[in-house]
Amino acid sequence: MKELENNIKKIKDSCLKELKKARSLESLEEIRVAYLGRSGALTEIMSTLKTLSLEQKRTLGPDLNELKKQLHDAYESRVSEFEKKNLSSDALFDVTAYKPHQMHGSLHIYTHIIEQLTEIFISMGYTIADGPEMETEYYNFTTLNIPDDHPARDSHDTFWLSQPDRLLRTHTSSVQAHSMEQATPPLAIFAPGRCYRNEATDASHDFMFTQGEGLFVDTNVSMSQLLATARTFLQHFFGKEDLKIRVRPGYFPFVEPGVEIDGSCPFCSDGCSVCKHTKWIELLGAGLVHPNVLRANGIDPEKYSGFAFGFGIERLAMIKYGINDIRLFHSAHIPFLQQFA
Ligand code: PHE
């Protein structure tokens, strides 16, 4: 009897001690099974009760029941301590509150603008064309009706490469011949791309810039189609349905007649700093494709005619977004770039 009582005390002490030491819900459960489970230490002792005398059962029985309850309560309270702790640490851990400092990547202003432009031209039935930035004299000049001795070559401050007959294209008009070689009319292409000119930089000139080139070749193409296309494009680009265009004579060797197209200022009706108080902004170079250019590319000028236009993509973006320095475009100036994120 004495031994039994000792055992009971040992079980009680070690169970309480283990419960106190437990560091996880799993180990609490193991302790519960070891002491209070179906073949746990306390359960086994209780099953020996039936071998005792009635007198012994009367004293030990209630004690054992009391102990079982006590151990169970101790177990429960440890479990709820753990649960509370977990709950409260979850409550303190607000996943939305943790915001490490991160630099977000975003599309570059170039990408935004070129997407806007291509979307407009695709909606007008154009396909997007591409050409190499490293060009030959032939594609950049000769096929565009700018022969060797033509003074227009001097006005394009060209970056000549060390390889003979290789240069960095000075305009996207070089894509015209590539496109005409590859397709038969009707042909409608829009070619955005990077160009290079070996000139001093300032707020509106850069040695590297982007142009957009449009070319349309079909039978009976007229100046009125060019003007309607230019106006529709500019109205969409500036989001201004009532934008008007005005045409002045212009000279580009690859078009005849050649024109400069101005747009009415998208920001004012009576003069502002953007249009330098003239109400008009010079936007496109354009004209009807010169017969020599068609002929050089295997297209019969008696049968087909075409129009072409070109513009500085940065220039249009600068006007649209009020950007005052073209050099910002490839400056990696984060505050500038973030404005277009
Ligand atoms: N390539 C001309 C330039 O760089 C622009 C242009 C394109 C003019 C097509 C007329 C027709 O200025």
Q: What are the tens digits of pLDDT across the range 104-114? A: 788 999 999 99
Q: Which of 263, 261, 260 is nearest to 274 (CA)?
A: 263
Name which of 77-81, 83-87, 103-107, 244-248 the model is least confident about. Answer: 83-87
| Domain limit, last residue, from 90, 125, 147 | 90
Q: Which of 259, 179, 254 is nearest to 224 (CA)?
A: 259
Single pTM value for the model: 0.71
What is the b/e burial string over 33-68, where b = at least 16 CB atoms within 10 angstroms of the residue's CB? ebbbeeebbbeebbeeeeeeeeeeeeebeeebeebb
pLDDT at 234: 98
Same domain assignment for residues 135 and 196: yes
The whole-chain average pLDDT of the chain stands at 92
pLDDT at 87: 63
Work out the widest C-alpha separation in the chain, in whole angstroms.
130
Same domain assignment for residues 128 and 225: yes
Q: Does residue 141 belong to any structural domain of this protein?
A: yes
Stretch 254-258: mean pLDDT: 98
pLDDT at 90: 54
Same domain assignment for residues 138 and 226: yes
pLDDT band with cut points at 50, 70 and 90 for residue 93: low
**Residues 158-187 pLDDT 10s:** 999 999 999 999 999 999 999 999 889 999
pLDDT at 139: 97
* Terminal alpha carbon distance of the chain: 84
Q: Does residue 177 belong to any structural domain of this protein?
A: yes
Q: Domain with 210 in it: what CATH number?
A: 3.30.930.10
Same domain assignment for residues 18 and 126: no
pLDDT at 268: 93
What's the CA-to-centroid distance between 310 and ligand 1, angstroms? 4
Q: For a substitution probing ligand 1, which of 139, 180, 211, 217 has the most ligand atoms within 8 Å of its CB?
A: 211
For residue 285 and ligand 1, the question of a CB distance below 6 A is answered with: yes
For residue 261 and ligand 1, the question of a CB distance below 6 A is answered with: no
Q: Does residue 231 belong to any structural domain of this protein?
A: yes
Q: Given the CA of residue 176, which atom of ligand 1 is nearest to it?
A: 9
Stretch 273-278: mean pLDDT: 92
Would the pLDDT of 223 be above 70? Answer: yes
Q: Does residue 102 belong to any structural domain of this protein?
A: no
pLDDT at 155: 77
Same domain assignment for residues 132 and 228: yes
Q: Given the CA of residue 211, which atom of ligand 1 is nearest to it?
A: 4
Same domain assignment for residues 11 and 121: no
The C-alpha torsion from 319 through 322 and 327 to 333, rounded to 10°, is -140
What's the CA-to-centroid distance between 150 and ligand 1, angstroms? 16
| Domain limit, last residue, from 90, 121, 148 | 90
pLDDT at 302: 97
Q: Does residue 103 belong to any structural domain of this protein?
A: no
E runs forming strands in the chain: 127-128, 134-135, 167-168, 187-196, 208-218, 245-249, 255-264, 280-289, 305-312
Same domain assignment for residues 206 and 78: no
Same domain assignment for residues 164 and 85: no
**Residues 323-336 pLDDT 10s:** 999 999 999 898 99
Same domain assignment for residues 39 and 135: no
Q: Given the CA of residue 171, which atom of ligand 1 is nearest to it?
A: 4
pLDDT at 88: 58
pLDDT at 243: 96
Would the pLDDT of 210 be above 90? Answer: yes
pLDDT at 261: 98
pLDDT at 196: 97
Would the pLDDT of 319 be above 80? Answer: yes
Name which of 30-39, 132-141, 231-240 the model is least confident about. Answer: 30-39
| Domain limit, last residue, from 61, 90, 119 | 90
Q: Does residue 104 belong to any structural domain of this protein?
A: no
Same domain assignment for residues 124 and 60: no
What's the CA-to-centroid distance between 161 and ligand 1, angstroms? 22
Same domain assignment for residues 120 and 83: no
pLDDT at 91: 57
Task: Round the CA-based radius of gyration of the chain to a whole number and report it.
Answer: 42
Hey, what are 61's tokens? 């029985």
Same domain assignment for residues 135 and 282: yes
What's the CA-to-centroid distance between 172 and ligand 1, angstroms? 8
Would the pLDDT of 92 be above 80? Answer: no
Would the pLDDT of 40 be above 80? Answer: yes
Domain count, the chain: 2
Take atom 6 of ligand 1 and give the residue whose Cα is closest.
310
Domain span including residue 20? 2-90
Q: Does residue 101 belong to any structural domain of this protein?
A: no
pLDDT at 61: 84
Q: What percent of the chain has pLDDT over 70?
A: 97
* DSSP helix/strand/coil, 285: strand
For residue 252 and ligand 1, the question of a CB distance below 6 A is answered with: yes
pLDDT band with cut points at 50, 70 and 90 for residue 89: low
pLDDT at 2: 78
Q: Does residue 173 belong to any structural domain of this protein?
A: yes
